[in-house]
Amino acid sequence: MRIIVATCSAEYTGRLTAHLPKAKRVLLIKGDSSVLIFSELGSYKPLNWMAPPCVLNERWFDVSRKNGDKQGGAVAILKAHATKSSDRLVVRLYEIDSDESYDLGIDPGLMKDGVEDQLQHYLSEQIERIGPGARLVRREYPTPIGPVDILAVDGNGVTTAIEIKRHGDIDGVEQLTRYVTLLDRDERLSPVRGIFAAQTITPQARTLAIDRGFKCLILDYEDMKNQGDTDLTLF
Amino acid sequence: MRIIVATCSAEYTGRLTAHLPKAKRVLLIKGDSSVLIFSELGSYKPLNWMAPPCVLNERWFDVSRKNGDKQGGAVAILKAHATKSSDRLVVRLYEIDSDESYDLGIDPGLMKDGVEDQLQHYLSEQIERIGPGARLVRREYPTPIGPVDILAVDGNGVTTAIEIKRHGDIDGVEQLTRYVTLLDRDERLSPVRGIFAAQTITPQARTLAIDRGFKCLILDYEDMKNQGDTDLTLF
DNA sequence: ACATGTATGTCGTGG
DNA sequence: CCACGACGTACATGT
């Protein structure tokens, strides 16, 4: 990891063309030669960057011989170009405040806890939450328009598509609608009903879901987790 | 902007809970107290971070008096908590390799050139790409649920709504569906057909679009741009 | 402020 | 490797 603090300007061409006027900024150059340019404000997204995989070219100019003017006063130019596309980032450095390198080594990486995955995991284990006698067909049931979160058969033997969200909004209902409409055309599965399951459901989504004939199911994460743990103690 | 290179560990709690084991990393602390934690690899997204607005608390321990052990060997703890939510990021520093601050000043910001804008621009100029004899009605045709990218009349005099995307996915088809459904209710326009135009279209989106009776049109940006430039030379 | 659509999105996962 | 959906999405824009 190389960290440069410098007055710089930059040009990016690729999916779009963008220009960064001269100003003092922080440049991070990672071990894979990717480049990030940060300013004092904004969230974690850099002002401009080059993503890996890329190749970095660096050229320094001898300003004392006054040929620096040829570069518009630039002391150095960094050119990064993507190896898999035609993306290019050209950074001109004018005044260097700092230029240090560190070897960070390999990072053990981030460990995450509980997300939608967990909800899906627990609900597929506790499928009777959608009604007594229900049986799981499979998680991530594949269709031509994407996988259904859970496909099950309810107590009456009716095929049931379940869409799971942490927070259920209109888009989720649309998604479920697409799946149910498509699956319902399969005569081996038809009729297919839908269940919209989420920790929270917006009123609009609930209205739309019910209007489309779907059942809404509120998922209590803590409760599901506890039952999951309880199930384990049975062994 | 403060730049710290140090061996650290971190904990985040908010929408999810995440843990970052002890390793050498780069910390950026911006002028708004937001914190970014980077490792040697990955793209511009930090391993962990705290977005502004937030408040940063810093506490250093006197290791020489051996009470550093109380902190598991940590030399310092940084606690950032979001002011608008309950998000928290706690960073423990163990060995400091560098800790420097710089005043970057206000950044003039990035200047971008359009993308989808360009596609829309060129397609409206080259409307016969949707079929011979087609005529443009207008770009950004207003409706109660938002502007249709392009409204045109095809060679047979049929009203045609065009949804343009750089990359066409299922959501884009949904969007087009909403527009076509709505416009089709207007007896002055009905029947209205839809065209889904994009540089790339996912197979699933294509399937859905065709299922809904829409035509799919692949836009070749370079080609459109060249034709646009050629058109200019006619003047 | 809120809702919506875009992104040089990035990131994981499953086929 | 491709395609798809989730994301602590971030971000700009229009209302």
Whether A49 and A55 have beta carbons less than 8 Å apart is answered as: no
Q: Residue B230: its pLDDT value, please? A: 66
Is B77 in CB contact (< 8 Å) with chain A? Answer: no
Q: Which two tokens stand for residue A137?
A: 């067909």
Q: How far is the CA of B44 from the C1' of C11 (A)?
A: 12
Q: How far is the CA of B84 from the C1' of C1 (A)?
A: 14
Whole-number Å distance between alpha carbons of A168 and B52: 27
pLDDT tens, position by position, B54-65: 999 999 998 776
Q: Which of B44, B47, B107 sits opposite A51 (nearest CB)?
A: B44
Across the strands, what pairs with B28? B3, B36
Going along chain A, which residue ranges are E strands? 2-13, 17-29, 35-38, 48-50, 54-60, 76-82, 88-101, 111-112, 135-141, 148-153, 159-168, 192-201, 215-218
Q: Residue B52: its pLDDT value, please? A: 93
Q: Which two tokens stand for residue B216?
A: 């799919």
* Segments of chain B with pLDDT less than 50: none
For chain A (length 235 residues), average pLDDT per consecutive 10? 97 86 96 95 93 95 68 90 90 97 92 75 89 91 85 94 88 90 90 91 87 91 75 55
Measured between CA atoms, the residue of chain A closest to residue B117 is A16
What domains can you pick out in chain B, each with its CATH number? 2-101 (2.70.180.20), 116-233 (3.40.1350.10)
Instruction: Tell me the pairing of strands A192-201 and A215-218.
Output: parallel
C-beta atoms surrounding A98 within 10 Å:
13
C-beta atoms surrounding B141 within 10 Å:
16
Whether A34 and A17 have beta carbons less than 8 Å apart is answered as: no
Residue B98 Cβ < 7 Å to strand C = no
Q: Residue A105: its pLDDT value, please? A: 92
Give the distance from residue B129's alpha carbon to the nearest chain A alpha carbon, in angstroms. 22
Give the distance from residue A155's alpha carbon to the nearest chain B alpha carbon, in angstroms. 31
Contact B21 A111 (CB under 8 A): yes
Report chain A's C-alpha Rg in angstroms: 27
Whether B66 and B10 have beta carbons less than 8 Å apart is answered as: no
Is B128 in CB contact (< 8 Å) with chain A? Answer: no
Contact B107 A25 (CB under 8 A): yes
Whole-number Å distance between alpha carbons of B140 and B118: 13
pLDDT tens, position by position, B179-189: 898 899 999 99
| Residue of A32, A44, A91 to mutate for B, most B C-beta atoms under 10 A | A44
Instruction: Tell me the pairing of strands A17-29 and A2-13.
Output: antiparallel
Q: Residue A227: its pLDDT value, please? A: 79
Enumerate helices (H) and strands (E) in chain A, giving the number of each.
4, 13
Contact B105 A15 (CB under 8 A): no
